[in-house]
């Protein structure tokens, strides 16, 4: 009996339930992001092309349809080029998987190959100065439960340089308090784990917070919770940052001059401040959990204050300090605009 050729939806199911988690060993967050890309694709087909998900086949996806979908993401949903490229990457990954399992996927895969990744201007990385970090960490009201949580969270993100998702995933089991050092076990991209030490002031706050929540003995509890869920989400951390940065801008109009900051700005800040403090680049790489030192080099950009200090030092050493403009002869009458 001839075996039935798997269709688009059949292969999409095995792609998410078998290939991504087990064969490729991809993280939960990567799978979640890819699923969202296909949910958007189905929404587009239904709302614009009037095609229900049950009627989707590989023949549905010619070049024009996929290109129109990506344009729809940018124009109708207001997404940036980076997001558009992420959606294309998800489609490309599935196309590569599908074409090795059925000839019907050839049209889909060929259409994907014809669509280029869009280039976009690289915005400068936003980060905080030392003064801005100090202000930000003092803003939460520690007398309230939410304020204490926010204070500890902001402190820990600066002390650890952790990604927002790593903070969300952190459990009590993964925090080891010792007499002279406190270690965190963080799980980053690609399910890679690393152990890092954090500064004692941040460690003391973290220990007090866990004790206040009475979860010290509940090893599988998440350290940070939202008001509605036991585990905090990255969206919640983003809102926390928005709240305190808005407050900081109001109270300090001469600081916090960037238009937009994100939780990742704190990670950039940690890398930059470690570099300024003289921490070797390879140590920063391991601390942040980067696969390549080239990534660390991009994260650990020098702040303008550091650049200015270097320039002042260079100027004082290499330029004569007594150079002056000689006086012109007294008898020479200059026009007023040249005086």
Q: Are residues 134 and 252 in the same domain?
A: yes
Q: Are residues 102 and 217 in the same domain?
A: no
Q: Are residues 43 and 70 in the same domain?
A: yes
d(C-alpha 142, C-alpha 208), whole Å: 12
Q: Are residues 64 and 34 in the same domain?
A: yes
Instruction: Locate 139 and state its tokens.
Output: 């803003």
Residue ranges of the chain with per-residue pLDDT less than 50 = 1, 322-326, 328, 332, 334, 337-339
Q: Are residues 95 and 162 in the same domain?
A: no
CA separation (Å) from 220 to 94, 171, 178, 230?
34, 6, 19, 11
In a domain, 180, yes or no: yes
Residue finishing a domain among 256, 291, 308 = 256
d(C-alpha 154, C-alpha 210), whole Å: 15
d(C-alpha 40, C-alpha 87), whole Å: 9
Please report where in the chains the tokens 């109001």 appear, as a residue. Answer: 250
Runs of H (alpha helix) within 253-292: 263-276, 281-288
d(C-alpha 137, C-alpha 220), whole Å: 27
Question: CA Rg, the chain, in Å?
Answer: 27
In a domain, 281, yes or no: no
For the stretch 66-125, pLDDT in tens is 999 999 999 998 888 888 999 999 999 999 999 999 988 888 899 999 999 888 666 667
Q: Are residues 60 and 99 in the same domain?
A: yes
Residue-number span of the structural domain to which 109 is assigned: 8-113
| Residues in CB range of 295: below 8 A, 6 or more apart | 285
pLDDT of res. 223: 94
In a domain, 208, yes or no: yes
Q: Are residues 140 and 247 in the same domain?
A: yes
In a domain, 284, yes or no: no
Q: Are residues 144 and 243 in the same domain?
A: yes
In a domain, 309, yes or no: no
Instruction: Locate 182 and state its tokens.
Output: 């406190």
Q: Are residues 109 and 186 in the same domain?
A: no
In a domain, 33, yes or no: yes
In a domain, 282, yes or no: no
CB atoms closer than 10 angstroms to residue 136: 25
Q: Are residues 33 and 139 in the same domain?
A: no
CA separation (Å) from 125 to 22, 170, 229, 253?
35, 26, 31, 21
pLDDT of res. 332: 47
In a domain, 36, yes or no: yes
Q: Are residues 209 and 91 in the same domain?
A: no
DSSP class per residue in 224-250: ---SS-SS--HHHHHHHHHHHHHHHHH
Residue finishing a domain among 113, 146, 170 = 113
Going across the sheet that includes 182-187, the strands are 175-177, 182-187, 193-198
Residue finishing a domain among 83, 113, 143 = 113
- SS3 for 239? helix
H/E segment holding residue 193 = strand 193-198
CB atoms closer than 10 angstroms to residue 12: 20
Buried b (16+ CB within 10 A) or exposed e, 190-223: eeeebebbbeeebbebbeebbeebebeeeeebbb
Q: How many domains does the chain have?
A: 2
Q: Are residues 24 and 83 in the same domain?
A: yes
């Amino acid at each position: 009996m001839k075996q039935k050729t798997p269709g688009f939806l059949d292969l999409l199911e095995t792609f998410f339930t078998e290939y991504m988690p087990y064969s490729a060993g991809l993280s939960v967050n990567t799978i979640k992001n890819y699923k969202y890309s296909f949910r958007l694709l189905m929404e587009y087909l239904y709302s614009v092309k009037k095609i229900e998900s049950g009627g989707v086949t590989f023949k549905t996806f010619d070049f024009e349809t996929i290109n129109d979908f990506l344009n729809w993401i940018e124009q109708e949903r207001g997404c940036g080029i980076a997001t558009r490229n992420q959606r294309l990457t998800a489609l490309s990954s599935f196309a590569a998987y599908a074409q090795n399992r059925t000839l019907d996927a050839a049209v889909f895969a060929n259409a994907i190959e014809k669509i280029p990744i869009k280039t976009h201007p690289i915005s400068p990385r936003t980060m905080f100065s030392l003064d801005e970090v100090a202000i930000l960490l003092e803003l939460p009201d520690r007398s309230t439960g939410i304020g204490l949580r926010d204070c500890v969270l902001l402190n820990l993100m600066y002390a650890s340089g952790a990604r927002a998702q790593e903070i969300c995933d952190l459990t009590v089991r993964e925090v080891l308090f010792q007499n002279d050092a406190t270690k965190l076990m963080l799980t980053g991209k690609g399910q890679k784990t690393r152990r890092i030490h954090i500064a004692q002031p941040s460690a003391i706050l973290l220990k007090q917070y866990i004790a206040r929540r009475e979860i010290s003995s509940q090893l599988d509890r998440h350290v940070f919770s939202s008001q509605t869920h036991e585990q905090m989400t990255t969206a919640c951390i983003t809102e926390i940052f928005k709240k305190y940065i808005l407050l900081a801008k109001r109270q300090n109009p001469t600081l916090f001059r960037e238009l937009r900051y994100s939780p990742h700005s704190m990670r950039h800040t940690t890398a930059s401040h470690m570099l300024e403090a003289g921490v070797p680049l390879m140590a920063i790489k391991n601390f942040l959990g980067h696969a390549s030192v080239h990534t660390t080099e991009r994260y650990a950009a020098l702040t303008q204050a550091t650049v200015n200090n270097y320039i002042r030092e260079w100027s004082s050493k290499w330029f004569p300090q007594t150079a002056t403009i000689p006086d012109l002869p007294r008898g020479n009458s200059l026009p007023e605009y040249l005086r």
